[in-house]
Amino acid sequence: MKSPESSGQAEVVETLFFTGYAKLPSSITAEKLYEVIAVGVEVNPYDGTIIDADCTLATNVGKNFFRKLVIGYRLTDGIENLVERFEKRYYGSARKAIVTGLKIMYEKWLTYYENRSQVSCVNK
């Protein structure tokens, strides 16, 4: 699949949305609100770059920190470096659940990416 830039056409890229869910520790506020953490990412289908993200942490600062760590990451680089970012920089109680949610999201994206020649994501 060629990107609009490489084909020389002015096509509009339709981004993709992937999610992952994981159980939260019972001792934290987010678990009282949501029971599970949901992570969602909007992805450029051509290069796997995460262009927007959100999660169901209880605080805005936690949600914003999550966004800072994932936006701009290229899923084509694998999930290991993104997991490492969280292991080095996120010290909240939901870290394990976030990492699990990211891994589940990545598996969904990888399934799409491996089969992308069968899916068109461009308006014509």
**Is residue 122 scored above 70 in pLDDT?**
no
To the question of domain 12-112 being in CATH 3.90.1010.10, the answer is yes
- Nearest of 114, 115, 112, 118 to residue 16 by alpha carbon: 112
DSSP notation for the chain = ---HHHHT--PPB--EEEEEEEEPPTTSHHHHHHSEEEEEEEE-TTT-BEEEEEE--SSHHHHHHHHHHHTT-BGGG-SHHHHHHHHHH--STTHHHHHHHHHHHHHHHHHHHHTGGG---B--
Write out pLDDT tens, residues 61-109. Answer: 999 999 999 999 999 999 999 999 999 999 998 999 999 999 999 999 9
- Of the chain, the percentage scoring pLDDT greater than 70 comes to 84
Residue 10 contacts residue 23 (beta carbons within 8 Å): no
As a whole number, the mean pLDDT across the chain is 87
- Of the chain, the percentage scoring pLDDT greater than 90 comes to 69
Answer whether 0.75 is exceeded by the pTM. yes
* Residue spans per domain, the chain: 12-112
Please give the pLDDT value at position 11. Answer: 63
- Nearest of 28, 100, 37 to residue 63 by alpha carbon: 37
